[in-house]
Amino acid sequence: MSLTVYFLRHGQTILSSSDAFCGSGSDPELTPEGRQMADEFAQAYAARTWAAVYSSTLRRAISTAEPICDATRMALQVRDELNEIGYGEWEGLTKAEVERAYPIKFQQWLANPAVNVPLRAELAATVSKRGLRLLKEIEDEHEGDVLVVSHKATIRIILCALLGIDVSNFRSRLGCPVASLAVVEFSKHGPMLQVLGDRSHLSPTLRSLPGT
């Protein structure tokens, strides 16, 4: 049996709804709408047989994973390898605020976010290394379907690394809207992306909410 990994981005937070930088240094809880997103995902996928469920250590990811764990009686495995990239001194600021306060650095970041990072921020290569380390562990330990609940940048960086896409393009090549699902199938030929940015498990009202 092959392995299929379902990468679920967490539900809405106040920072995702305002297009703010929300990395490993920020730990907001889900909004009521974000909790509803988690509930709707659980309703849509509770009948699936899961081999394991993993989450980052941040509250927004854990709270997104809890409804599906409750519905399926799966134990949640919390791992810091899945935490969001750290945004350093930009944590909690909106992109408009960053552009005003750090105009040159912001333009450099837009050009190559993998290396032109804010002060005290984390490099994409570091995120890739820790993410792939956990994926290798998952491949070694599981068959069937595994759910991984993580974060926008982290999911995109891991997908780039798995698919051979230059990690400097993680923001421009792969979409990952809030509460969306990406599905990667692992076989003897390697990882294949089957689904990207899927939000069909959400109601039209939740899909229409503003934010990232």
Model pLDDT for residues 145-158, shown as the tens digit of each residue: 999 999 999 999 99
Q: What does the pLDDT read at residue 212?
A: 76
The confidence band for 12, taking pLDDT boundaries of 50, 70 and 90, is: very high
Q: Considering its fold, how many domains does the chain have in total? A: 1
Tokens of 17: 């709804």
Q: Where are the alpha helices (DSSP H) in 14-94?
A: 14-17, 32-45, 59-72
User: Is residue 150 one of the residues assigned to a domain?
Assistant: yes
pLDDT at 8 over 90: yes
The domain of 67 spans 3-86+123-207
User: Is residue 117 one of the residues assigned to a domain?
Assistant: no
Q: Name residue, tokens 């039209």.
A: 204
CB count within 10 Å of CB 97 equals 14
User: Is residue 108 one of the residues assigned to a domain?
Assistant: no
Q: Name residue, tokens 């605020």.
A: 97
Tell me the whole-structure pTM to 2 decimals. Answer: 0.96
The dihedral sign for the CA sequence 15, 20, 22, 27: negative
User: Is residue 115 one of the residues assigned to a domain?
Assistant: no
User: Is residue 96 one of the residues assigned to a domain?
Assistant: no
Q: What does the pLDDT read at residue 210?
A: 87
CA distance from start to end of the chain: 35
- Domain of 55: which CATH number? 3.40.50.1240
In contact, 120 and 86? CB cutoff 8 Å? yes
Q: Where are the alpha helices (DSSP H) in 5-151?
A: 14-17, 32-45, 59-72, 95-101, 103-111, 124-141
The confidence band for 64, taking pLDDT boundaries of 50, 70 and 90, is: very high
User: Is residue 200 one of the residues assigned to a domain?
Assistant: yes
Q: Is 150 helix (H, G, I), strand (E, B) or coil?
A: strand
DSSP letter assigned to residue 91: T
